[in-house]
Amino acid sequence: MNFLEERITKDGIVKEGNVLKVDSFLNHQMDVALLDQLGQAFYERFKDKGITKILTIEASGIAIACSAARYFGVPVVFAKKSKSINIDGDMYVAEVESFTHKNKNNVIVSKKFLRPGDRVLIIDDFLANGCALQGLISITESACASVEGIGIAIEKGFQHGGRVIRNLGYDLYSAAIVEEMNAENGTIVFREQN
Ligand code: 5GP
């Protein structure tokens, strides 16, 4: 087991509705040393891709993206969730359905911060059905920038997002892939990765 799988096994809580709670170390209280390990793992995986920018989505992706950015030495841009329908032309916009809240948000990124030719690493905390990633990919491509890689902390491999994104040809790396999890007895099984 790698460092993240061990931590999920120790502190992750399986909830009904295919939700894994990791709020004691990743997305409420945060273990900064673990975030640093994640940042380093993403760097090792994507360091040869000439990354110029890291793109994530608020809120839970931001800390992980910042840890990675320390290794890459590039800025982080986070897509903001916006209720407004009056979005001006200075923004790239994508509609994203939230897996955890079951609502839809527009997410926006200023055109100032994502430029044609940027080589983008997309980072997020979870991958479930892939809506958040599809939004970030669409924003990157609207900017005529390229998606050079996608780094996810925890992919739920029993949901279809990972398969869809890989089938589209994106270079997706997840530090931990949950193959199955059981809310009744709390067990979590990970996919073997090399
Ligand atoms: P997707 O868009 O891939 O369906 O879901 C990804 C987003 O939903 C992530 O940005 C994450 O915030 C949230 N999410 C999805 N599944 C889980 C989960 O099991 N636990 C937590 N804490 N967040 C999740």
Which ligand 1 atom is the nearest neighbour of the CA of 135? Answer: 2
Model confidence pLDDT, tens digit, residues 89-144: 899 999 999 888 888 989 999 999 999 999 999 999 999 999 999 999 999 999 99
Distance CA 70, CA 40 (A): 9
Flag whether 187 is in a domain.
Answer: no
Tell me, what's the pLDDT at 45? Answer: 98
**Ligand 1 within 6 A of CB of 106:** no
Tell me, what's the pLDDT at 86? Answer: 66
Flag whether 23 is in a domain.
Answer: no
Flag whether 131 is in a domain.
Answer: yes
10 Å Cβ neighbour count for 55?
28
Flag whether 17 is in a domain.
Answer: no
CATH code at position 80: 3.40.50.2020
Pocket test for ligand 1, best of 15, 22, 80, 126 (most atoms within 8 A of CB): 126
**Ligand 1 within 6 A of CB of 127:** yes
User: What 3-state DSSP class applies to 151?
Assistant: strand
Flag whether 93 is in a domain.
Answer: yes
Tell me, what's the pLDDT at 26? Answer: 98
Distance CA 80, CA 56 (A): 9
| Number of structural domains the chain divides into | 1
Q: 145: domain range?
A: 36-181
Q: Is 76 left (phi over 0), alpha (psi -120 to 50) or beta?
A: beta
Flag whether 74 is in a domain.
Answer: yes
Distance CA 113, CA 97 (A): 23
State in Å: Cα 127 to ligand 1 middle: 6
End-to-end Cα distance, the chain? 11
Model confidence pLDDT, tens digit, residues 15-28: 999 999 999 999 99
In order, the DSSP letters of 30-83 are: --HHHHHHHHHHHHHHHGGG---EEEEETTTHHHHHHHHHHHHT--EEEEEEE-
**Ligand 1 within 6 A of CB of 27:** yes
Burial 66-86 (b: 16+ CB within 10 A, else e): bbbbebbebebbbbeeeeeee
Flag whether 122 is in a domain.
Answer: yes
pTM (predicted TM-score): 0.97
